[in-house]
Structure 1
Amino acid sequence: MADLCVSLAAVGGAVLLSEALRRAAARLVPGPGPYWTYLLEAAAAFQLCSCTHELKLLSEAAPPGLPLGLALTYVVTAVHLSTFRGAACNPCAALESVCRGRSGVGAAAVLVACQFAAAVAARFGFRCFDPLGGTLLEAAAAELGCAFAVQAAAMHAHKLDEKLRVHFIAAVVTALVYAGGGISGAMFNPVLAFSVQFPCSGHSYLEYGFVYWLGPALGMASCILLFEKIIPFLSGESANEPKCSQKWLIRR
């Protein structure tokens, strides 16, 4: 119980610190604008990675049990969604924006650089070991499937009442953590994986890149292809851009 209280305090501290950074940025940097967006993404990525680091430490030092662990995942995910202010803190979202023509390559590159810089700053520096519970192909498939499911949920969340969207996405993320956590850790976010999983021994950066970068990118791309191209083509409908973008694509 003491470990749980310490971890919850650390998670709360990370959220409060990130919120303080967002509020300070709102006063110092006029928004909306590119610099405001970069600061939001950096603060969100730092919050996401710090909280996940702490929850991972808790699960390794004093496992809270499955029901409590999933409850923590759900609550922390809901907090992230409620405080990120539209930040995606996921390079896949930046790639999606470029592909849709909503963002230039240069602006997307700067945004991704801010995300990765925040992910490095959030590293705890503890020693960890092989995070994969399966082969490289199994882990990559798990990350692909998780990213596909979250992207699909994000693309259809606008159909729900606005008050239910946060809880819907949080429930989906929690279910995916339960389903894929034992295989790959269920990161489905390249920035988060770079901060949490890449420092662990057991595999090379190239192998981790195959699992945690290529897997989610293919999952996102295949989901968009299915729902915006293949299904409309088969049904004879015109493909329309979803009302809900990958701004919802976050991680616990």
Structure 2
Amino acid sequence: MSGLNASLGYFVAAVIFAALVRTLLKKWPRFSFILEFASSFMLVACRLEVQTIVDVGEWAGGLGPDVTFTILFVVLLTHGVICGDASGNPTLVVLKFLQLEATILPTLLAVAVQFLGAHLAILVAVYYWSLELTDMHMIKNLMARECSTSLLVSVLHGFFTECVCTLFFHLVLLNLRRRPALIRVPLIAVLLTFLSYSARGYTSAYMNPSLSYGLTFHCPGFTFTEYAVVYWLGSLTGMALALVLYVGHIPRIFAKNLIYSQKTRSRVPKGDKGGKKI
């Protein structure tokens, strides 16, 4: 329980940081892209600690899967509430670009700061573990350089898994985007938790290039290129397929709808064109 108390303090600190950045930037909307930095930092920092609880807490602290996935759901729900439209997910930023909702420069800035936030989260988490506040963190600190990769299958199988999970995630997200946040945020948190649980024996279904970079790219077992194929190319491919299935084409690339007919059917009342006969 003391380990969970220390983790709770860590989670609260990450949430407060993201909330402060969001509050401060309300006065400077031109720097709103920094919200993506805070969002990515909070998400990766919290998920690193969740991963610690999964890797160590289940056998060292007696914490079962029910506890760990409940914590994951709460983290994802809190992230959705605190960060709002700042997803901390490069695929969602690229999705807006492909839908003609953003230009190239804001897109590049957002993606860059998302990876910067993820990298900073790694540094903060490593320092936090080095404090060895609990036995769980002491063990994690010893294991830090020998972390277990989340990619437990072949590169091709992993690419397919991330692609399918991302495809399903974005299809649901596109259908929910006009729903009120009170409905959308909890449903997305449930969906992400479910996909993570379902794919835990394959890739863990991160569906987020900056998140996967923070959680598994530094772990041995695969090369950087192989991780990129699975977690970056797989996620982007799934997102693009979801957009094509949802709207019929990719607006940034194809003007013509590739799937759905754009013909409008207008019903003309039967009768003489000259008007009614009296």
TM range (shorter): 0.7 to 0.9
> Which amino acid in 1 is paired with 2:111?
V
Q: CA deviation at 1:44?
A: 0.4
Mapping of 1:23-172 within 5 angstroms? 23-27=23-27, 30-31=28-29, 33=30, 35-36=31-32, 38-63=33-58, 64-123=63-122, 124-125=125-126, 126-127=144-145, 128-158=147-177, 160=179, 162-172=181-191
Corresponding residue number in structure 2 for 1:22:
22
Gap regions ≥5 residues in structure 1: 240-252
Q: Distance in 2 between matches of 1:183 and 1:215?
A: 13
Aligned length: 233
Partner of 2:9: 9
> How big is the shift at 1:97?
2.2
Secondary structure, aligned partner of 1:194? helix
CA distance in 2, matches of 1:115, 1:162: 22
CA offset at residue 177 of structure 1? 0.8
Cα distance change on mapping 1:67 and 1:104 into 2, 3 Å: same
- Aligned-pair CA distance for 1:83: 0.7
Q: How far is the alpha carbon of 1:209 from its aligned partner?
A: 0.1
Cα distance, 1:25–1:159 mapped onto 2, change above 3 Å: closer
Q: Cα offset for 1:25?
A: 3.1
Q: Distance in 2 between matches of 1:75 and 1:212?
A: 24
Q: What is the distance in 2 between the residues matched to 1:129 and 1:69?
A: 17
Give the Cα–Cα distance (whole angstroms) in 1 for the partners of residues 56 and 263 of structure 2.
52
Shift of the alpha carbon at 1:172? 0.8
Q: Find the residue that maps to 2:26 and give its secondary structure.
A: helix
How many Å apart are 1:180 and its aligned residue?
0.8
Distance 2:179 2:97 in 1: 27
Counterpart amino acid of residue 86 in structure 1: D
TM-score if structure 2 supplies the norm length?
0.77
Partner of 1:194: 213
Structure-2 change in CA distance of 1:21 and 1:234 (3 Å): closer
Larger Rg: 2
Give the direction of change, closer, same or farther, for the CA distance of 1:57–1:226 in structure 2 (3 Å limit): same
- The structural deviation recorded for 1:7 is 1.6
Q: Please give the secondary structure, in 2, of the residue aligned with 1:62.
A: helix
Shift of 1:162: 4.5
Amino acid at match of 1:194: Y
d(CA) in 2 for partners of 1:190 and 1:71?
23
**Higher RCO structure (Cα 8 Å, ≥6 apart):** 1
Distance (Å, rounded) in 2 between the aligned partners of 1:132 and 1:41: 26
What code does the residue aligned with 2:49 have?
A: E
How much has 1:234 moved relative to structure 2?
A: 6.0
CA contact (8 A) 2:167 2:241 kept: yes
Cα displacement string for residues 132-170 of structure 1 (whole angstroms, at most 9, x for unaligned residues): 221111221111122112101111114655422211111
Over aligned residue pairs, what C-alpha RMSD do you find? 2.1
- Structure 2 unaligned regions, length at least 5: 127-143, 250-256, 265-278
